[in-house]
Structure 1
Amino acid sequence: MDWFRQVNSYCERTDFTYWSEPVNALTNLAFVLAGLWALRLSARAGDRGGQALSVILVLIGVGSWLFHTHAQIWAMMADVIPILIFILAYVFLATVRFLALPLWAGAIAVVAYIPYSAAFGAVFEPLVGGLNGSMSYMPVPVLILGYALLLRRRRPETARGLAVGASILLVSLFFRTIDREICASLPLGTHFLWHLLNAVMLGWMIRVLVEDGRRAETA
């Protein structure tokens, strides 16, 4: 693999200079700010799971910054790997804490996410296409809604919080998907809205986890 191969995936980028995507790059600060806010929230609650997710959220911002400035394969990996780690970590914590299942069940859920995601893409990508790279993320809101359905009676507040998170993610995925389609009419694109909304969504999801833990402690 050529780790230094250039990648041009977004409307805003017109060449391969460092600042060719200034808005896409700078909006990654939203991930860092959301991560620091969530870190403070989870630290006050003594929630180590929330703290770990918050650190990963900051790393998502750093990795995405690198990708939207360097636009090379290695930077793309720095972008997508922290996102995958966040997803898998949240799946583990959601299974163990929301569903009150043992650690081994959380580990199975993490392992199962990979074939689940692959099967999701295999079924739906032939029908709707790759959605400008968004197809790889589409299994996530579906999974979140699945957890919300499981929790709707036992933990209604948490279920509502998860549903809100899934809704924000779906809106952010819409803006990520249409980015290349509207280049002619909006050269800036809409990928930056994916950053802003996704930062809000990830911070919100950490808050849902922390608040659920607080309710469990007082129950």
Structure 2
Amino acid sequence: MSLFSSVDLYCERLSPEFWAEPVNAWTNLAFVAAALWAWTEARKRPPVPRVITLLITLTALIGVGSFLFHTFANGLTEWADVVPIWSFIALYVLTAIHLVGGVPPRRLVRIGAIVAAVVVVVFLATGSSEPASGPSVLNGSLQYAPALIALCVFSILTLARKHPLSPWAVAATVVFAISLVFRTIDLEICADFPLGTHFMWHVLNGAMVALLLQALVRNRL
């Protein structure tokens, strides 16, 4: 598929026009709100570590990239959508491993290479890019299964170690699981609910990212 070919994966989109998904587009403000909240709280606790600044920046970029995808809706803007998401996931996983597991930075480099390889393989194998003729199995949500698994493991570890991150991690995991349901059923309910449910994926994902950021900002070592 050409990078500039129109992509139609969601219930709300009925044409290739720029403003064919206004609700899906505007709900990406949830990510911008999450970034602003995290930055406001981080500024109250100086100095702000570079990794937290980078995670907050990636959160804002998730909102921008997703907005572009739900307006221009082509193969090129889809990369702008998924790259910040997976970059955030990979960086957060490494940060969590360091904070909760006590893994030293040198070992994180090797783990980071493994995480990056897994992200690339998962995206290539289950990426959301699909021809306009139809969606993939689970409407492309399968690509986020590793993220859900990582969150579950993160929650279990923090609970087992009675880490102060645990309430935030558990809440973020539950919210993300619910958001995946809304992402998956979007096309299945078009006949009964033409707006679809993908916008709830944005709202709840924004909440999930906000919880993860607040966990680090408020409980960083």
Q: Distance in 1 between matches of 2:204 and 2:178?
A: 8
Cα shift at 1:167? 0.7
Percent of matched pairs sharing the same residue: 38
Counterpart of 1:126 in structure 2 is none
Query: Unpaired runs of 5+ in structure 2?
Result: 126-135
Aligned counterpart in structure 1 of residue 219 of structure 2, from 207, 212, 218? 212
Which one of the candidate residues 78, 89, 92 is aligned to 1:90?
A: 92
- Residue aligned with 2:114, SS: helix
What are the residue-to-residue correspondences of 1:127-166 with 2, within 5 Å? 130-166=137-173
| Superposed displacement of residue 159, structure 1 | 2.1
Cα deviation digits, residues 3-59 of structure 1 (max 9, x gap): 211100100000011110010011111111111111111232233222221111001
Distance in 1 separating the partners of 2:44 and 2:11: 41
Q: 1:102-153, CA deviations, whole angstroms, 9 ceiling, x for partnerless residues?
A: 113322333223555657x98xxxxxx7311111111112112212222324
Aligned to 1:59: 61
Q: Which residue of 2 aligns with 1:125?
A: none
- For residue 63 of structure 2, give the secondary structure of its aligned residue in structure 1: helix
Q: State the superposition RMSD in angstroms.
A: 2.1
Gaps of 5+ in 1: 123-128
Instruction: Summarize deviations over 1:61-86 as a string: whole Å, max 9, x none.
Output: 00000000001111100000000110
Distance 2:167 2:113 in 1: 26
State the TM-score, normalizing by the size of structure 2.
0.87
Name the count of aligned residue pairs: 208
Alignment partner, residue 16 of structure 1: 16
The structure in which a higher percent of residues are helix is 1
1:83-111: CA deviation from partner (whole Å, max 9, x where unpaired): 01101110111111221111133223332
CA distance in 1, matches of 2:172, 2:29: 20
2:74 corresponds to which of 72, 76, 95: 72
Higher relative contact order (CA 8 A, sep 6+): 2
